[in-house]
Structure 1
């Protein structure tokens, strides 16, 4: 028996048992097969879904609602990320309304709001969300613009242009002090994810 092991160690039987590289590949393959066998029961219970839909049709909102329904709470960091996304969506939505007001030929009801509109159009916001301090700087302009009748009229004609995140139109965003339709809130229904 010792002679076989010695012959094997010296590579005397490459045609029968394969080279060292082939043996290493077989060992790794067996390891992978073993891992797959261990994961098989878990994978059988896992449900995978593919959500298809146009932009802003509610795909991610559906997933967030499923998480809430099944009792998986959001941690503080996730809630803060939602808040920053909501703030960014509010700014984007009001920008769209300011632009639509101009394209629809609606004059400012309050001429002072022109400066608020210009401020918001050049206001720096990232595509990943807006922090609370940054949002607070834009908040007075947002509130003033939302009170302007021309912005309200543009909002009433929102079917004529694309306005982001149509979620629960007619309610309020999860910032109770703001009376802005939650159409700008991509993930929020009061009592679900609040900021």
Structure 2
């Protein structure tokens, strides 16, 4: 009995050792990236880009699921513009006033198919000079940045044969709640990207995903300097990003973690600089209100000498909806992580 029990125990131990070895080998090949940033910074757009670049794009079911969401975005964007116009108390063209009022009264976002007449209404109100004026003043309201893209494409989006393309999906923002994780292989490594919600009520969940992260990608919507928070209309979004960034770097888990800072939405940033002055957000900014000087100033606000004490911080200026740009940047990011930071992890 003793000999038999001993053999059984040895067999069990060998099984455990084999399992541990397999786990070790798997972990040696796995790189976990954590995406952090405040709400609407563009984190989830990067996740979509990774799916396009490294997972052969979106499944048919996924594409189909975006169809009603995008149609809802078109209708809801126009509703927000009409409501903002009412606050400004500017008049639409006489023929559009009743049409706009009726649009608000009969608004039904879940009515995903619309008649030709209803489509004409959307296009007619969107082309009204008063609504275009609201769009120019959009930084003063909680109007999504990509509303013009969807309203300009309303005819195609409400066509019976419509199927969302990659650009439609990249422009469609759905606030992340909970945790989203995607896996893809590049070379011999399995990359795991973890995206967590950026809204205030989601951030308390972040701490559960800090341990075991090989690199942190922190995303900032650089056009945030002209906007207020969804959760608190008295707080500037860029100030909120700085506060979250500062507290993230102070976290003990990230003392030696490679960090890549993504200054996202450079295309919208350039547009915002035409409408707004960076000095309204940062009174200590006294440079020219152009991309070169404004972006340099913001970069210095985020990358301070005190932050570089324990780690290197790499940065990129990017446009999350530009697949080619994101692909090139992420190739650099992967090379940075593997060549400069993770040699001790992967032997």
User: Is residue 2:116 matched to residue 1:103?
Assistant: no
Q: Which moved more, 1:116-125 or 1:85-94?
A: 116-125
Query: Per the alignment, do residues 174 and 109 of structure 1 end up closer, same or farther by CA in structure 2, a change over 3 Å counting?
Result: closer
Match in the other structure for 2:133: 153
- Quick one: which of 97, 103, 127 aligns to 1:119? 103
Unaligned runs of 5+ in 2: 6-11, 158-167, 174-319, 325-347
How many angstroms apart in 2 are the aligned matches of 1:92 and 1:50?
32
User: Is residue 2:172 matched to residue 1:186?
Assistant: yes
Equivalent position SS for 2:32:
coil
Alignment RMSD (CA, Å)? 4.2
- Quick one: which of 121, 140, 148 aligns to 1:141? 121
Equivalent position SS for 1:50:
strand
- Quick one: which of 34, 45, 61 aligns to 2:45? 61
Query: Per the alignment, do residues 189 and 33 of structure 1 end up closer, same or farther by CA in structure 2, a change over 3 Å counting?
Result: same
The offset of 1:171, in angstroms, is 5.2
- Does the 8 A contact of 2:81 with 2:135 survive in 1? yes
> Highest CA radius of gyration, 1 or 2?
1
- Does the 8 A contact of 1:88 with 1:125 survive in 2? yes
Match in the other structure for 2:58: 74
The offset of 1:117, in angstroms, is 4.2
Equivalent position SS for 2:62:
helix
Match in the other structure for 1:23: none
Equivalent position SS for 2:35:
coil
Equivalent position SS for 1:72:
coil
How many angstroms apart in 1 are the aligned matches of 2:115 and 2:38?
28
The offset of 1:124, in angstroms, is 2.2
The offset of 1:98, in angstroms, is 0.7
Equivalent position SS for 2:26:
helix
The offset of 1:35, in angstroms, is 5.3
Equivalent position SS for 2:155:
coil
- Does the 8 A contact of 1:98 with 1:151 survive in 2? yes
Equivalent position SS for 1:118:
helix
